[in-house]
Structure 1
Amino acid sequence: MSYYALKHIHMTFAVLSGALFLVRGLWMLAESKRLQQRWVRIAPHVIDTLLLGSAIGLAVWSSQYPGQSPWLTAKLVALVAYIGLGTVALKRGRTRQVRALAFVGALACFAYILAVAVTKNPLIAA
């Protein structure tokens, strides 16, 4: 498999992960029973595992690692924030307002991750 094929696989899983998170967040806000469907609970884990695997593959292939490449470090830190906020938004938030704020914060983290991936610059406004 070529680097570019792996990169496109990674990008595809990133889009799928973000789109599914957006849909799940909207269902959470609407208090939809769809969140309880089996595929909705399983698919994010499968997609995110493949996304992480492709990310590790890209890092190894390109010899760029968090801690050495500032933009990858920024993506990793933002990913941890995204996961934390996403967990609050979809599972752990005690009130709808807390879940909604966490959802917006997670979406902002996801947008930042995408912007850093495109620009390779952790200071995307610069």
Structure 2
Amino acid sequence: MSAYLVLKHLHMTVAYLTVVLLALRLLLDAVGKPDWRQTPLRWIPHANDTILLVAAIGLLFVTPWMPFVHGWLTAKVFLLIGYIVAGVFALKQTVSLPVRIAASVLALVQVTAIFHLATAKPF
């Protein structure tokens, strides 16, 4: 199997896992179980996201795609930054509930757009 296929499948798998882990943490907060913060669920998403980033960088080395040259990839980078910021606000206990809900929705919308760009590569 080529390096591209290995990196692509690794990247896709951990990207899906990233969304599942975010949704799980948001759900646990929503049902009043914030004690997930004292479990491995606190650090596992960070390890997963590190693997995601390493796979993405690896894909840049084995493909001709370059951020700031290919529009869809540039859009993904900016959406990723927005997703990270929104996710931080969505999971922060010191932020008001309405802000956390809005940030949660925004994070999920942005990750949906990232997935769309990754599959469609529209521009």
Give the TM-score taking structure 2 as reference length. Answer: 0.92
Opposite residue 36 of structure 1, the aligned amino acid is: R
CA contact (8 A) 2:82 2:110 kept: yes
How far does residue 38 in structure 1 lie from its aligned partner after superposition? 2.6
How far does residue 30 in structure 1 lie from its aligned partner after superposition? 1.9
Name the CA distance, whole Å, in 2 between partners of 1:88 and 1:29: 14
Name the CA distance, whole Å, in 1 between partners of 2:43 and 2:4: 28
Pair 1:73-2:74 in alignment: yes
Q: 1:34 to 1:93 in 2, by over 3 A?
A: closer
CA contact (8 A) 2:86 2:104 kept: yes
Q: 1:64 to 1:89 in 2, by over 3 A?
A: same
CA contact (8 A) 1:93 1:99 kept: no
Root-mean-square deviation (CA, aligned residues, Å) is 1.4
How far does residue 34 in structure 1 lie from its aligned partner after superposition? 3.9
Query: Which residues of structure 2 form unaligned runs of 5+?
Result: none
How far does residue 36 in structure 1 lie from its aligned partner after superposition? 1.6
Runs of 4+ in 1 over 3 A off after TM superposition: none
Name the CA distance, whole Å, in 2 between partners of 1:5 and 1:64: 17
Opposite residue 58 of structure 2, the aligned amino acid is: G
Opposite residue 104 of structure 1, the aligned amino acid is: V
* 89-98 vs 16-25, which moves further: 89-98
Aligned residue runs from structure 1 range 6-85, under 5 A: 6-85=7-86
Name the CA distance, whole Å, in 2 between partners of 1:85 and 1:17: 14
Q: How many equivalent residue pairs? A: 122
* 41-50 vs 89-98, which moves further: 89-98
Query: Which residues of structure 1 form unaligned runs of 5+?
Result: none
| 2:12 partner SS | helix
CA contact (8 A) 1:71 1:121 kept: yes
Name the CA distance, whole Å, in 1 between partners of 2:44 and 2:54: 15
CA contact (8 A) 2:68 2:74 kept: yes
Name the CA distance, whole Å, in 1 between partners of 2:31 and 2:98: 12
